[in-house]
Amino acid sequence: MDYGKLVYKALEARKNAYAPYSGLHVGAALLCSDGAIYTGVNVENVSYGATNCAERTAIFKAVSEGKRNFSAIAVTSDLDRLIYPCGICRQVLAEFNIPIVIVADNKGNYKVHRTDELIPHAFTEF
């Protein structure tokens, strides 16, 4: 997979973000192992705890459509620097064994990480 294409999909998706409180528009593009791509955006709420991040939006959309096997996810925002998933999103990435996380800036420059680099010793069993 061309990671640049996945970053582009995330950049396009971020245009649909609902961010009236932070003003930060975040987009994500999730690559399924079958080649399907699901996008997501951050959806804010005046009660900040009810806000959903772009990464989780993309993952939850895919899961709701029956997808369970993923290859990579790209995340980008309006920032001119790389943006990284929050702790909750990192835990969800670990839950669904998404092996690759591509973090990007608003121009499409990106860096590739393994999920286990971003959340070492993830909580995966109880």
Which of 108, 85, 112, 91 lies closest to 10 in space, CA to CA?
108
Catalytic residue among 12, 44, 55, 125: 55
Burial of 70 (0-12, 13-18, 19+ CB in 10 A): buried
The answer to whether residue 65 is catalytic is no
φ, ψ of residue 50 to 5 degrees: the values are -90, 0
φ, ψ of residue 7 to 5 degrees: the values are -60, -45
Q: What is the DSSP letter of 16?
A: G
Question: How many whole angstroms separate alpha carbon 2 and alpha carbon 23?
Answer: 29
Give the active site residues.
Answer: 55
